[in-house]
A and B are shown apart, each in its own frame.
Chain A
């Protein structure tokens, strides 16, 4: 079964508007971390934001915030005031603590975001 699900097709947003990128996850662990990465056309993977499973507050990093709904197992990324440079592929990922030393990040398939001027 997929552990990270990103099902939105390519997303479009008008410059300066906000956009939400969806991510749902599946785990039986109580302790885990959720991450979002951005991949522009150059290919590098850029870390955006982290949410721990025990964090009560939603994580925020500048224009990025994570809408964490633990009971629904969703971790949606919200980008406020979109900029042209936000056009990229976005990956949601989870790292579970239960596997201990072998704990690895599991990535979703990604969502392509295009910002229109």
Chain B
């Protein structure tokens, strides 16, 4: 079955370290997205990519970086420059057309220790 896979489910990071969150999809979707969610809050867009080798900043890109070398993969790196990285991170993918919503991964919960 097609889907979108995020790993790991839980991640612990020491202050000052970079960590990379994995997101892979086999839905043949062109677009992929990363969102951050804080407890009891909505989703905030970090980065998105509409095509391989191209990506755009979302609303809260500072302290994060991404790459899109393959259509199936869109990893997110949380750098040491991100001041408050403890959050729940959701990856999503979609077709480009407006009639299509997003398919989400199951999320990664990142905690800074």
Contacts and interface: CB of A to CB of B under 8 A. Distances in A.
Interface residues of A, number: 27
Contact of A102 (B40, B50, B94): B50
Contacts of B42: 91, 107-110
Contacts of A43: 37, 88, 90, 106-107, 109
Interface string A34-49: 0101000011110100
Contact of B101 (A44, A47, A96): A47
Interface string A63-105: 0000000000000000000000000000101011100011111
B43 A52 contact: no
A45 B104 contact: yes
Given A45-B90, A45-B104, A91-B43, A103 B98 contact: yes
A14 interface: no
Given A95-B99, A110-B42, 20 more contacts: A32-B98, A33-B101, A35-B101, A37-B101, A37-B104, A43-B106, A43-B107, A43-B109, A50-B99, A91-B42, A95-B98, A95-B100, A102-B56, A103-B97, A104-B33, A107-B42, A108-B42, A109-B41, A109-B42, A110-B41
29 contacts: A31-B98, A33-B98, A35-B101, A37-B101, A37-B104, A43-B37, A43-B88, A43-B90, A43-B106, A44-B104, A44-B106, A44-B107, A45-B92, A45-B104, A47-B102, A47-B103, A50-B99, A50-B101, A93-B101, A95-B100, A96-B98, A97-B98, A101-B96, A103-B96, A104-B45, A104-B48, A107-B42, A109-B42, A110-B41
